[in-house]
Structure 1
Amino acid sequence: YVFVNTGEDTFVVAEKRLQDVAKELSWLDYEIVASKPGAAFEDERFEHPVYDDKETVAILADFVSMEDGTGIVHIAPGHGEEDYLVWEEKELDFPMMIDDGGRFTEQAGFLAGVFYADANDMVLDLLTKKGKLLHKGMVTHSYPHCWRCHNPVIFRALSQWFIDVDLYRDEALGALKEVQWIPTGSDVRIGDMVKSRPDWCLSRQRIWGVPIPSIKCSHCGRSILDPRVVRNVAAAVRKEGSNIWYSEPLETFLPAKMECPDCGSKDFDKEYDILDVWFDSGVSHYAVLEQYDGMRWPADLYLEGYDQHRGWFQTSLLTAVPLRGQAPFKTVLSHGFVLDESGRAMSKSLGNVIDPSDVVSKVGADVLRLALLMSDYTADIQVGQNILNQASEIYKKIRNTFRFMEGNLFDFQSTEQVPFEEMKPLDRWILGLWTDMKRKLSSAFDNYEFYSFVSIFHSFCVKELSSIYLDAIKSRLYLKKPDSEERRSAQTALKIMATEFPVLIAPILTFTAEEMWQALVSRGLVMEKSVYFSDWPDSAFSLTEEESSFWENALLLREKANEQMEKLRQDKIIGHSLDASVIVYGSGTDFLSHSEWAEFLVVSSAQIKNEGKEWDLEVEKALGVKCARCWRVREDVGLDAEYPDICGECLDDITG
């Protein structure tokens, strides 16, 4: 810092700021007459620029900027956190000269009773008259405003009630390790916050809220939070509600012979600070779990947005650990927020808000639920018309898959169910895959991975069910005798899957699941009145190693058959797959019969050559005439004069 003589006065300025200050103040001829390091000014006393009867003291602070100003700033420890902290290090007292109404108190002398914002001009006028104002100007900068009325706020350092978090910070951090955190890694997020958080300021100066039952000594002004008073107020609140603190006289809550611990006075006044609302929510685990029958502490699950690592999750932890020594939850799941398709937050000003009620009115609540659960909800989710359209298509596929299965059970009774051991190989195969799919889905739900529903359940509906199994068994369902063994075997598989289908989708498609269930109730296929009265399905069907190995190879042959048939279509040799026949080669391929291979591959006929180690397949144009009933190309069409346009197998089905 340098001492600068301008000819009229000598000023102290930071050396780095001298040129800018001289230019701003039009110092054309000045001289540096001395210099001194900033640290040398510490604790020196100076005349107060406003009050002639007061002094001020110099202190050091690392927030003083060398980018603007003089390198010397005034501080107001009662009105700013940084100022307060550096002043506190000096252990100096300071007056609070602004009251609750924003007006200066009597301590402010000539400013007493003046609203703080109106005092600026009065102070500038005084400094001008005293010849101490060299320059004034306006600075534009960010400043906090009231969220409600949007006026600028003023900070005041006031006495408050705090929880000393340091007393149990380590214990709270230890409790976090006993909790399951979803998604993985969110424990680190909240752990870092608990490590660095300051003491918890519990009191607020608001008009309405849950009162802190503290009292103030009328004689010495000490604020007192006496356990006896707290218990008396708590008992009254339990009966009458929290307004009892405001409506009843203080004497109602004071114990006998209550005295101030400092001065011994017996005269007290109520204080009207309220509790931080985060304390209200933070003790909800006590208020709910310990007050109602059927509840137990701690909670199984806390569920909220990831912003609550700083809020509800943390305040719940900090109210539980001091009294119980553990967290109030076993599992904490945090989710992201809904954004538009471009990843922007939704707002009316941007015009990108999607009203859930509008979506529900157009496509239904279940499509909206599905759209939200298609993505990993632990991060922010982007939602828009394209995503809703995708969800609608997925929903339709799931719904139509069930409709096909349920519709083909119109003549099936549970008493006609075929034992698993006696079912046709293809029906056993699909039930084995159904069991595997259920295990995966159950595991995903157990781990709250609801976004896996589409990749597990919907994919199964599209691939294994619709594209393979349901397509293959249509001939059995539509063409075989109603009570034939082949048809009842397929219907048994459909019945098992159809009655479990609504239960599996219920966590996601809640209304559709109930609608499906009622369709099953009307057919007499289920007993419970609602899907939500049913148990999670525990049926399990296992294939032998031989079966599993066979179907693994058979699916590869199916892919090869489809490739060859597609080439024949392109060459205009066949139109539909039923225009083709196949020859299957390989040892073990006779696990299926000729007709079962034809059904599985959806072709007119199949030959089996059970020889050679390598499985292979040839597709060719089927020989014969198209049957009018089954549409297969067969060489035995027209053998019966009475039914000249159907094949022998269909003839057996309708006459046998």
Structure 2
Amino acid sequence: MNDAPQDASTAAPATGSAVDWRGTVFLPRTPFPMKGDLPKREPGWLERWEQQGLRDRLRAQSAGLPKFVLHDGPPYANGPLHIGHALNKILKDVINRAAQMSGRDANYVPGWDCHGLPIEWKVEEEYRNPKGKYKGGVDKDQVPILDFRAECRAYAAHWLNVQREEFGRLGVLGDWQHPYATMDFSSEATIAGEIGKFLLNGSLYRGLRPVMWSPVEKTALADAEIEYHDHTSPTLHARFPVLRSPVEEALGADVVIWTTTPWTMPANRAVAYGEEIDYALIHVDTVAEGSLLRVGDNLIVALPLVESFCRDTGLEAHSIRRVLKGAELAGTVLAHPLRGWAGGEGGYDFDVPMLPGEFVTADAGTGFVHIAPSHGEDDFALGRQFGLPVPETVADDGTYTVQAPGFTGIHVFKAHEPVWAAMEATGRLAAKGSLRHSYPHSWRSKKPVIFRATPQWFIAMDDGNQIRAKALDALAVTHFVPEVGRNRITSMVAARPDWCISRQRAWGVPIPVFVNKTTSEPLRDPEVLERVTAAFREEGADAWYKPGAAARFLGNGRNPDDYEQVMDIVDVWFESGSTHAFTLTPERDLPFPADLYLEGSDQHRGWFHSSLLESIGTRGIAPFKALLTHGFTLDETGRKMSKSLGNVTAPQEVTKKYGADILRLWVMNADTTEDQRIGPRILEQTAELYRRLRNTLRWLLGNLDGFTEAERVEHAALPELERWVLHRLSELDARIRRAVETYDWSGVVPEIHAFCATDLSAFYFDVRKDSLYCDAADSDRRRAARTVLDALHRCLTTWLAPVLPFTAEEAWLARFPSEDGSVHLQRFPDLPPEWRDDSLAAKWAKVRAERGLITQLLEADRREGRIGSSLQASVQLGASGEAAELLSPAIWEEVLIVSQVTVAAPPPLEGSMAAAADEALLATTAVAPGTKCARCWRVLEEVGTARHADLCLRCDAAVG
């Protein structure tokens, strides 16, 4: 059989029977309907749990139990939930509920990230919207900052409430009335205090260095705010004339560089070479038509790249005058390619030194790297090593400043044409082109970003606080699910630069620092910090922007005119990274560190990363003991979801059509460590999987009708088949407890489903239908079966409760009705160790294998019309076959669901209809001799020998 047995499979009387025996058959009876009707019923369960005070009862019931803390990574409060939110929160809820039902106190506190640029943008859009409440007539920069922040707060509060309702509809159990939010006054005060800890311990400093900068958003960005997209960049081959060099042959030659950022050329201050690279001094003999090179030119490029250089520049023929090692170029001085350009007004007439760079390779370009210290990590580091200037050539909006003479006001993304033209005018343009490549973009605006050196606030990774070293040590003892996450975040921490935590925006927690205007040193005064945090706790971070704030916080002993009040806000990743500081607290009765952080795999560079650094820097330990990552959600064909593609699956629509339990089942039926796919076809498959689970629960409930403890049979007295089912339960119990311990639920729900569909519905239920329906109520076999059904119901409803909270509640209360009862107040059953019986399991694996072979014979008989059902058949097992040795004939009759099994020596009985091909089996089938029992439908020769002429002896005794 495929699913749960049909209710009326053996209920009808035999044809011609004088008595209708259906009323004597124990047919399943339960109020648990076959149709879940989840979209209509689930809201009622939510209301019931609310009225019951289920969460508060769980907290009271859990008092004194070991704590389990899954600290919630905050979603962003700026729109309705998407399917990734649903996946994340459902997985968290399953792990929390399972921990609770395993005997832990799992108090889940949800949270929200409420500050930052996306909300600012939405508010600014409202200012610009001609149909909005401001009629498009408000310039954001003219709005008082406190008014602007109030608009942002209101926007975030609205979406926080919307998302709270949507998460609750998914059945996620948590402290929804007391969540944390980064914009809570108490949270803002704590965030400011956490910044202050880095200020006081000396790790916070202001420095000039390149950071990822968004010209559109006019702010620095964190690595976690960057995504990569294909982008076409203009390219440039530029010639740097050699002015002085210890290599005599190089005099009069040009060193050629290649770059995909022509806009950085005004900021060039050096050229880097690789000391071990072989460079060729080549003489131009002939060039292709249109080439910018000239016959007679002498150029220096890396020897391995000469061929590609010729192709890129149109150089047809050349001769190599000399090959030299890069180290020989030490001391060489070049001229800037724009030297002498009339438009530059002498602004590029400085010398350009050649410097050794370990990062230089001969993989692409020319083997030389032009160095713009303002616009690259390697460039900046090399410039600092050799004392190069760091010109501020680009403003915060991406346009050139006066420090880029001849280009002032031009946007850098439109600068390649004028830069090409200027270099062509000086004769220093060797080639121009374009390249399609992966390029960093802001994940918010989707626009390209640049590296730009600006004064920013940083947290040092390698000062006396040793954040990097301590973080790496902490990761070494962290439990990872999956394990591959360990290498990912470890390599990121090992290679990352100092942490830039400042942002040039308005909606967030300000960096509460004052800088002495004379010394340029930040003020490190605990009393000032205490006044700031106390004010934030009472008034919110708005206190920083109120008139007289500097005097208020500095105190009477200092003149505000002597100090710069820093107006940058802190990076939102610092905010979310410090959520442990205001959530895992004694006030919430949540211990630090958390047992588990759980987010998408992109958070190795995001929330996991910032939380680790923040906690290490302030407390010296990681805020988590384990990290679990899940994949991303794609459509059915494996594409990223997009409104423009029309392939978005919204969780709200899924719950409306199918119910939350179907969405939860979709999450837990997949390997969440990998990317997951969802769409109409997959959801329909999930709904079918749900129906099978539901039918299993329904059949159990129906056949447990009226079960009492008086019926229970001790384990030692159970038949082998029942003990095998209990063994399977013990195996699943171990699997589930391992998932609870390791947080790895991959494969657990598929195993439960396979158990229900294959072990139960297609085997055990099929075999035991006859006993449950037709045996006498007090028969040992029926009592044993119902004893096992009781264990199955208790195990399956509790095991499924974390995954299918609505359905499991319904299935529990259908058997144990109670006004204040709930499956979610139960624990997972403690299964006796004697239920585990591996030798018995091995035997019954053979039984089922033999059964499968014999069933094929019976199916062939049915197809060819020799029998209608298996009860019309008899089976003869060869005495020397393995099957005959496994079970007695009477047990084989039960297992095969046939009316007669005999054991005889081969050859098979004359008249047999089929023979098994497996020589070890030696089984044949035939039409069973005798008459069909009107009650159980078995075909037996004993029918007609009892009081009731149309019944077998068993049924005759059962009806009394």
Q: Return the TM-score normalized by structure 2.
A: 0.58
Contact 1:144 1:153 in 2 (8 A): yes
1:633 to 933, 939, 960: 939
| Residue equivalent to 1:77 | 373
- SS of residue paired to 2:693: helix
| Contact map agreement 2:776 2:957 (CA 8 A) in 1 | no
* Contact kept? 1:16, 1:66, Cα under 8 Å: no
| Structure 2 SS opposite 1:60 | strand
Match of 1:253 among 553, 561, 572: 553
Determine whether 1:576 maps to 2:865. Answer: no
Aligned to 1:500: 795
| Aligned-residue CA RMSD (Å) | 4.4
- Secondary structure of the residue aligned to 2:758 is helix
1:22–1:230 distance in 2 versus 1, CA, 3 Å: farther
Give yes or no for contact 2:847–2:886 (8 Å, CA) kept in 1: no
Aligned-residue offset at 1:246: 1.3
1:309 deviates by: 1.1
CA distance in 2, matches of 1:45, 1:573: 100
Q: Aligned to 1:392, which of 687, 690, 699?
A: 687
Q: Is residue 343 of structure 1 aligned with residue 638 of structure 2? A: yes
Return the alpha-carbon distance in structure 2 between the equivalents of residues 45 and 76 of structure 1. 15
Which amino acid in the other structure matches residue 176 of structure 1? L
Name which of 354, 357, 378 aligns with 1:60.
Answer: 354
Contact 1:560/1:617 (<8 A) preserved: no
| 2:567 is the alignment partner of 1:272 | yes
Percent identity of paired positions between Structure 1 and Structure 2? 37
User: SS where residue 404 of structure 1 aligns?
Assistant: helix
Spell out, residue by residue over 1:103-160, the C-alpha distance to the aligned partner (whole angstroms, 9 max, x if none). Answer: 7767778988x566699799889979x9757879986567766665666666541222
Q: For residues 485-496 of structure 1, what are the structure 2 equivalents within 5 Å?
A: 485-496=780-791
Aligned to 1:652: 957
Contact 1:25 1:135 (C-alpha < 8 Å) held by counterparts: no
CA distance in 2, matches of 1:33, 1:325: 55
Contact 2:240 2:335 in 1 (8 A): no
Paired with 2:885 and 2:771, the residues of 1 have a C-alpha distance of 20
- Give the distance between the partners of 1:645 and 1:221, measured in 2 at CA: 106
The answer to which of 179-188 and 37-46 deviates more is: 37-46
Deviation, structure 1 residue 273: 1.3
Of 170, 191, 210, which aligns to 2:469? 170
1:230 aligns to 2:529 (yes or no) = yes
The one-letter code matched in structure 1 to 2:811 is M
1:78–1:157 CA contact under 8 A, matched in 2: yes
Deviation at 1:533, TM superposition (A): 0.4
Q: Is the 8 A contact 1:405 1:498 kept in 2?
A: yes
Counterpart check, 1:42 vs 2:327: no
State the secondary structure of the residue aligned to 1:401: helix
* 1:17–1:68 CA contact under 8 A, matched in 2: no
Name which structure has the greater RCO, CA cutoff 8 Å, separation 6+.
2
Q: 5 Å matches for 1:280-359?
A: 280-290=575-585, 292-359=587-654
Amino acid corresponding to residue 494 of structure 2 in structure 1 = K
Alpha-carbon distance in structure 2 between the residues aligned to 1:53 and 1:429: 88
Pick from 727, 742, 746 the counterpart of residue 451 of structure 1.
Answer: 746
User: 2:822 is matched by which residue type in structure 1?
Assistant: S
Determine helix, strand or coil for the equivalent of 2:943. coil
Asked whether the 8 Å contact 2:253–2:299 carries over to 1, the reply is no
> 2:845 matched to 1:539?
no
Q: Which shows bigger deviation, 37-46 or 433-442?
A: 37-46
C-alpha distance in 2 between matches for 1:492 and 1:70: 80
1:603 maps onto 2:898 in alignment: yes
The 1:235/1:19 distance shift into structure 2, 3 A limit, reads farther
Q: For 2:366 and 2:895, how far apart are their aligned partners in 1?
A: 88
Aligned to 2:387: 91
- 1:361 matched to 2:656? The reply is yes
Name the structure 2 match of 1:7.
none
Q: What is residue 262 of structure 1 aligned with on the other side?
A: none
Q: How many residues align?
A: 637
Asked if 1:561 corresponds to 2:860, the answer is no
Single out whichever of 158-167 and 417-426 deviates more from structure 2: 417-426
Q: Partners of 1:429 and 1:131 in 2: how far apart? A: 89
Q: Could you tell me how far apart the structure 2 residues matched to 1:125 and 1:645 are?
A: 104
C-alpha separation between the residues in 2 aligned to 1:528 and 1:428? 34
Of structures 1 and 2, the larger Rg is shown by: 1
CA distance in 1, matches of 2:287, 2:444: 40
Aligned pair in 2 of structure 1 residues 243, 136: CA closer, same or farther (>3 Å)?
Answer: farther
**What code does the residue aligned with 1:211 have?**
P
> 289-298 or 66-75, which moves further after superposition?
66-75
SS at match of 2:453: coil
Moved more, 623-632 or 208-217: 208-217
More strand by share: 2
Q: 1:645 to 1:594 in 2, by over 3 A?
A: same
Amino acid at match of 1:239: E
Corresponding residue for residue 414 of structure 1 = 709
Give the Cα separation in 1 of the matches to 2:785 and 2:441. 70
Distance 1:458 1:589 in 2: 32
Question: For residues 537 and 286 of structure 2, what CA distance do their matches in structure 1 show?
Answer: 66
Tell me by how many angstroms 1:645 deviates: 2.6
- Of 568-577 and 220-229, the range deviating more from structure 2: 220-229
Q: 1:32 to 1:334 in 2, by over 3 A?
A: closer
Q: Distance in 2 between matches of 1:73 and 1:93?
A: 17
SS at match of 1:160: strand
Secondary structure of the 2:462 match is: helix
Mapped to 1, the partners of 2:721 and 2:422 lie a distance apart of: 97
User: Are the equivalent residues in 2 in contact too, given 1:367–1:395 (CA < 8 A)?
Assistant: yes
Distance 1:602 1:543, change over 3 A: farther
How far does the alpha carbon of each residue in 1:594-647 deviate from its partner, in whole angstroms, 9 at most, with x for none? 64442232111334689xxx997554321011122111111122335x743322
8 Å CA contact 1:179, 1:330 repeated in 2: yes
Give the secondary-structure state (helix, strand or coil) at the position aligned to 1:332.
strand
**Residue in 2 that maps onto 1:379:** 674
Q: Aligned AA for 1:562?
A: T
Q: Are the structure 2 counterparts of residues 294 and 123 from structure 1 closer, same or farther at C-alpha, using a change threshold of 3 Å?
A: same
Task: Identify which range, 178-187 or 29-38, moves more after superposition.
Answer: 29-38
Partner residue in 1 for 2:727: 432
Unaligned runs of 5+ in 1: 5-9, 260-264
1:624 paired residue number: 930
**Distance in 2 separating the partners of 1:538 and 1:32:** 84
Of 158, 161, 165 in structure 1, the residue corresponding to residue 454 of structure 2 is 158
Aligned pairs (5 A) from 1:505-544: 505-522=800-817, 529-540=821-832, 541-542=834-835
1:295–1:19 distance in 2 versus 1, CA, 3 Å: farther
Q: Given the superposition, is the C-alpha separation of residues 109 and 418 from structure 1 closer, same or farther in structure 2, using an over 3 Å criterion?
A: closer
User: 1:193, CA displacement in angstroms?
Assistant: 1.3
How far apart are residue 336 of structure 1 and its match? 0.8
Cα distance, 1:550–1:317 mapped onto 2, change above 3 Å: closer
